[in-house]
């Protein structure tokens, strides 16, 4: 019996994904198959007639079924690109997202404007380590990082990613709640905290529900962790220290008000490329 070719199995996968109402059926099918065949996605098109082995077909079918049941592609592949860097991810951490790149780009600009030779940055709720690792990899200046997370399994993965990107010696990973583990003031605090209101969690896409609720649930109004971090931050920042948050849709003004009420100045609200107010900053 003739074996299925790349084109044939892709067409079947795309059709199956459409039946299950996935948002990006063609993209998902191609990304998963490219991973199985260990080739770039674009190379699939010049290998349409290549027959697949039984082992390749069986493995692909496993991934297709898992994806149709809501498993995120990043978890199935075990990796996610962020700031043009590759990060290992698993179900213990939030998957790094494109909108968070805007937070990193904003902080990189602030680092570039800072005249200090050494800048110490704390990433609160570091997860996979994507934010702090990207900052250290991409900043021209000497940046020392602190990555804090309440989840030890997340910290283990973050450390692994730091080793992969050869910056482990520049980051101190600490287990604990928000800014409390900081034993000395830092120049910048950056965070993408959980910001989805608890009552909205049930309405999330099925694949987002697969991510840890600890990294999603922002309390009744989505602002729980902003309040806690801001309340504690003043004692953990150096003079004129900077704090920067990613925020959810329609949360920017509320977070800015929280900063003002706590004595922060030079409040900035920055839009992302979709003109959504996505980043909020303030200084002591």
> Per the annotation, where are the binding residues?
125-129, 149, 192-195
Phi, psi for residue 78 in degrees, rounded to 5 = 80, 15
Name which of 99, 96, 77 is nearest 85 in CA terms: 96
Angle at the Cα of 230 from the Cα atoms of 112 and 260, rounded to 5 degrees:
85
Alpha-carbon gap, residue 140 to 138, rounded angstroms: 6
Please, are residues 154 and 127 in contact by the beta-carbon 8 Å criterion? yes
Which residues are annotated binding-site positions for S-adenosyl-L-methionine?
125-129, 149, 192
Name which of 264, 251, 247 is nearest 103 in CA terms: 247
What lies within 8 Å, CB to CB, of 47 at 6+ separation is 6, 37, 39
Which residues are annotated binding-site positions for substrate?
192-195
Beta-bridge mates of residue 269? 280
| Interior/surface letters 89-118, b for 16+ CB within 10 angstroms, e for the rest | beebbbbbeebbbbbbebbbebbeebeeee
Name the strand (E) or helix (H) holding 281: strand 277-283
Alpha-carbon gap, residue 8 to 156, rounded angstroms: 40
């Amino acid at each position: 019996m003739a074996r299925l070719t790349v084109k044939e199995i892709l067409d079947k996968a795309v059709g199956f994904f459409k039946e299950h109402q996935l948002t990006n059926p063609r993209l998902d099918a191609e990304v998963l198959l490219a991973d199985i065949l260990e080739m770039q996605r674009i190379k699939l098109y010049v290998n349409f007639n290549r027959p697949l082995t039984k082992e390749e077909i069986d493995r692909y079918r496993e991934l297709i079924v898992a994806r149709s049941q809501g498993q995120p592609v990043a978890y199935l592949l075990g990796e996610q690109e962020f700031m043009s860097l590759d990060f290992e991810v698993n179900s213990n951490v939030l998957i790094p997202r494109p909108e968070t790149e805007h937070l990193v780009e904003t902080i990189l600009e602030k680092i570039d404007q800072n005249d200090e030779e050494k800048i110490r940055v704390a990433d609160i709720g570091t997860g996979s380590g994507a934010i702090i690792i990207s900052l250290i990899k991409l900043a021209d200046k000497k940046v020392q990082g602190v990555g804090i997370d309440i989840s030890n399994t997340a910290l283990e993965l973050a450390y692994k990613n730091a080793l992969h990107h050869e910056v482990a010696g520049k980051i101190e990973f600490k287990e604990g709640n928000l800014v409390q583990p900081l034993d000395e003031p830092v120049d910048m605090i950056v965070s993408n905290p959980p910001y989805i209101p608890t009552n909205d969690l049930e309405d999330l896409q099925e694949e987002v529900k697969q991510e840890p609720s600890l990294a999603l649930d922002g309390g009744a109004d989505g602002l729980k962790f902003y309040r806690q971090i801001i309340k504690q931050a003043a004692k953990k920042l150096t003079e004129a220290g900077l704090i920067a948050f990613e925020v959810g849709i329609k949360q920017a003004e509320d977070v800015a008000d929280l900063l003002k009420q706590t004595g922060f100045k030079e409040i900035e609200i920055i839009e992302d490329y979709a003109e959504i107010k996505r980043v909020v900053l303030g200084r002591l």
